């Protein structure tokens, strides 16, 4: 089983799915529609894919929900919801019941002060995630992880998946801010995506400066708490699942490790069938 854990889909910004400036004012140079993804998945032998709501569409999850409705057996969905809005918990619950969304993405990377992560007013949202049994994905920096730990302790049933190795300072290796991610491994509900490798690395393929970080992640978290992605939809990567290829080529990973990282872990988090709107 091969499951891509991190894909963004987005339109050309025209109605009925306009771009929003909630998260970014930037605009893509190309479109990334569901039809292209399904073709890519079939070509690469990808069974299912986890859609992460694109920042281009901000907190308007309507295109993501349409994609889930069209391809319910191939796609899982992770929404963007403003965690500091008054009814964030209600919005997550609505998206779950009405559209089959299986989690939401916390986005502290845009905040100079991310202390809100463990504020008391976040408890209702975390309680909703606990009751729905859906994970959060977490797009932040390694330096922000200590602000997340109190909630991991308070809600051990809620799984949190750190995106992109926590955006570490790669040049500092294992002695830099990356150690904060490794220290978080003591919480069994913390998971890690080995993703956005080209963007993190200072070297060309196969990004050897990241290999020690990936190995340390394996040694502290274990393969059953690691996930990978193919790299779709970056233009130069559309023809190859480069993210999966890198994982497949790492000599320190066993066949069992690869099975979990390339699909087993994602299946354990998203695999159960969700209620979908008719």
CATH number, residue 140: 3.20.20.140
Structural domain includes residue 11: yes
> Quick one: pLDDT band at residue 45, thresholds 50, 70, 90?
very high
What is the predicted pLDDT for the residue at 74? 98
For residue 276, being part of any structural domain is answered with no
Whole-model pTM over 0.75 = yes
Predicted local distance difference test score (pLDDT) of residue 235: 53
75 within a domain of the structure (yes/no): yes
Is 277 inside any structural domain?
no
Average pLDDT over residues 207-217: 98
What is the arithmetic mean of pLDDT over 176-191?
Answer: 98
Average pLDDT over the chain reads 94
Asked, as a colleague might, if the bond just before 18 is cis with ω within 30 of 0, I would say no
Quick one: DSSP state of residue 194?
A: E
DSSP result, 35-96: HHHHHHHHHHT--EEEEE--GGGTT--HHHHHHHHH-TTTEEEEB---TTSTTHHHHHHHHH
Q: Is residue 149 part of a domain?
A: yes
Side-chain-facing half-sphere of 269: CA atoms under 13 Å = 38
39-63 burial code (b ≥16 CB/10 A, e <16): ebbeebebebbbbbbbbbbbebbeb
User: pLDDT (tens digit, 9 = 90+) per residue, 54-96?
Assistant: 999 999 999 999 999 999 999 999 999 999 999 999 999 999 9
DSSP summary character for residue 22:
S
Mean pLDDT of 168-176: 96
Q: pLDDT-based confidence at 225, cuts 50/70/90?
A: very high
125 domain residue, yes or no? yes
Neighbours of 272 (CB within 10 A): 9
For residue 53, give both structure tokens.
Answer: 């709501």
Range of the domain at 104: 3-270
Contact call for residues 182 and 192 (beta carbons, < 8 A): no
Q: Examine residue 42 and state whether it is found in any structural domain, yes or no.
A: yes
What is the C-alpha to C-alpha distance for residues 25 and 197, in angstroms, rounded to an integer?
24
- Please check the confidence at residue 239 and state whether its pLDDT lies above 70: no
Would residue 278 count as lying in a domain? no
Number of domain units in the chain: 1
């Amino acid at each position: 089983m091969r499951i891509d854990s991190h894909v963004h889909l987005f339109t050309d910004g025209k109605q009925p799915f306009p771009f929003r400036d909630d998260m970014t004012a930037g605009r893509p140079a190309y479109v990334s529609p569901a039809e292209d993804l399904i073709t890519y998945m079939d070509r690469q032998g990808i069974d299912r894919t986890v859609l992460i709501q694109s920042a281009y569409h901000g907190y308007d999850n309507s295109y993501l929900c349409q994609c889930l409705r069209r391809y319910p057996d191939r796609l899982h969905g992770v929404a963007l919801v403003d965690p500091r809005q008054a009814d964030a918990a209600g919005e997550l619950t609505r998206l779950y019941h009405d559209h089959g969304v299986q989690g939401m993405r916390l986005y502290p990377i845009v905040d100079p002060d991310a202390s809100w992560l463990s504020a008391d007013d976040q408890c209702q949202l975390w309680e909703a995630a606990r009751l729905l049994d859906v994970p959060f994905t977490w797009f932040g920096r390694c330096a922000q992880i200590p602000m997340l730990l109190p909630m991991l302790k308070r809600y051990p049933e809620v799984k949190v998946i750190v995106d992109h190795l926590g955006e570490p300072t790669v040049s500092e290796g294992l002695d830099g801010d990356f150690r904060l991610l490794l220290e978080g491994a003591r919480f069994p509900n913390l998971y890690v995506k080995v993703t956005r490798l080209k963007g993190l690395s200072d070297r060309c393929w196969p990004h050897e400066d990241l290999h020690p970080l990936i190995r340390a992640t394996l040694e502290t978290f274990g393969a059953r708490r690691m996930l990978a992605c193919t790299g779709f939809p970056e233009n130069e990567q559309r023809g190859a699942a480069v993210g999966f290829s890198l994982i497949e080529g790492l000599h320190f990973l066993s066949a069992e490790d690869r099975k979990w990282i390339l699909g087993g872990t994602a299946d354990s988090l998203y695999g159960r069938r969700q209620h979908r709107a008719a």
